Amino acid sequence: MFENLQKTIDSFIGIYGTETLIQYLENFEQIHSKKYYTYIENLCKEVAILCEVKQNSILDINNTNRNVVDARRHIVYFITIDLKLPNKIITTLFNCKLRTVYKYQREVKDRLRNKHIYKEYSKIHNQIKKEINVPTYY
């Protein structure tokens, strides 16, 4: 595990340099407060289980499998809409553009508004809410 981490760090530094790595880590620390880190980690695990997908496939924005995209929608909802955390967390987590986050937010609101059409999505959404005990302030 640590060998893979070291290889990833070395390749990142080789491409972008140490200054960029330091800046990225500082930005990451500002965006992801420590009290939300555990919540986000647990949320991703729970969503992966309930949507029956692998956790690392959720983070791959190029994966367009229906269940994976639904899993991303759930994560976007609970992080940006429910907890009202910055969209930057999602753009960093999924390595995507802000317009992708807005698209997911729009789609989630539509699915939650039209529960009679998106029954399976609503069912999973309610299960996630029960499992992670969504706090107003974590």
| pLDDT reported for residue 63 | 92
Q: Which two tokens stand for residue 62?
A: 């190029």
pLDDT exceeds 90 at position 4: no
Global pTM reads 0.74
Question: Percentage of the chain surpassing pLDDT 70?
Answer: 88
DSSP state, residue 82:
I
| Cα angle: 91, vertex 2, 13; to 5 degrees | 55
What's 78's DSSP letter?
A: I
Q: How far apart are CA 72 and CA 59, in angstroms?
A: 8
Distance between CA atoms of residues 87 and 81, nearest Å: 9
Q: Which amino acid is at 88?
A: K
pLDDT tens for 48-74 read 999 999 988 998 899 999 999 999 999
